[in-house]
Amino acid sequence: MKLSYRLLAFMMALVWCIAASAAPMPKEKEKEHEGKNVDSGSFGVFQNGHRVGTETFSIYQTANGSVIQSEFKTENAPTTDVQTSEMQLTAAGDIRRYEWKELSPERAESLVLPNESFLNQKWSTGPQEKEHEQPYLLPASTSILDDYFFVHREVLAWKFLGTACKQEKGLVQCPLKQRAQFGTLNPHQHSSAPLSAEFLGREKVSLKSGQQDLLKLELKNDAGTWQLWLDDQFKVMRMSIVGENTEVVRD
């Protein structure tokens, strides 16, 4: 599949893993909304055709790399679950900081930081609860795929396209069935796992705005198989879990 030079420039601006290098950055938080917004919106989460949650997200390019902010809320449930996350990446796509908070119905928080050659997570399940800590023998280049935050899969899709696609004569070419392997961390589950990503070509998909011709990717690990459909600006329009009645659609 070939993409125009204009889209190549767009992808080069978004996919941090193709940067040549990045100087070490301090671990303090970025200023809120610092930088250029490259994607924002919301995903509706549907199970068996019923909306059960909404994720509202923003992705910014900053002088130091990028910031991905997200809020997830349950819908049509006896209690409203509200969670937020903020992921900071270097210009090379490595983890600088990942923070998660549960605001309702309980209060809990988690923080992942790089520590020399590995990642370290600290978390507590309540204001009065003891803080826990767990190191992971994982590099800062590990991709975070946390529960409830589907925008993390868009970020991983960008990383995959940046490594799988090549520039030839001013065009971006993505070989069909191109695959790549990534290491991932799920902070909610306190677990890591390898993941394979594969480019499956293009497919016509029916969306609210009508039928669109979209790029199709597949992400697979031991926890299951996700299929993603992206438009020509590399924005995820739809996701689904193979074999389950769960679908995530951009509003």
Q: Output the CA angle 85-87-88, nearest 5 degrees.
A: 150
Q: How is the chain split into domains, by residue range?
A: 2-19+36-250
Given this model, what pLDDT does residue 233 score? 86
Half-sphere exposure of 183 (CA within 13 A, CB side): 14
Given this model, what pLDDT does residue 175 score? 81
The 10s digit of each residue's pLDDT in 30-71 is 555 568 899 999 999 999 999 999 999 999 999 889 999 999
Query: Which 8-state DSSP code applies to residue 151?
Result: H
Please tell me the distance from the alpha carbon of residue 140 to that of residue 129, in angstroms, as a whole number: 28
Question: CB under 8 Å to 32, separation ≥6 — which residues?
Answer: none
Whether the predicted model's global pTM rises above the 0.95 cut? no
Given this model, what pLDDT does residue 123 score? 96
Task: Give residue 53's Cα distance to chain centre.
Answer: 17
Task: Give me the CATH topology for the region 2-19+36-250.
Answer: outer membrane lipoprotein receptor (LolB), chain A (2.50.20)
Please tell me the distance from the alpha carbon of residue 108 to that of residue 100, in angstroms, as a whole number: 8
Phi, psi dihedral angles at 177 (to 5 degrees) = 65, 15
Q: Tokens 């978390």 map to which residue?
A: 123
pLDDT < 50: residue spans in the chain: 2-10, 12-14, 16-27
Please tell me the distance from the alpha carbon of residue 59 to that of residue 69, in angstroms, as a whole number: 6
Given this model, what pLDDT does residue 7 score? 44
User: What's the first-to-final CA gap in the chain, in angstroms?
Assistant: 27
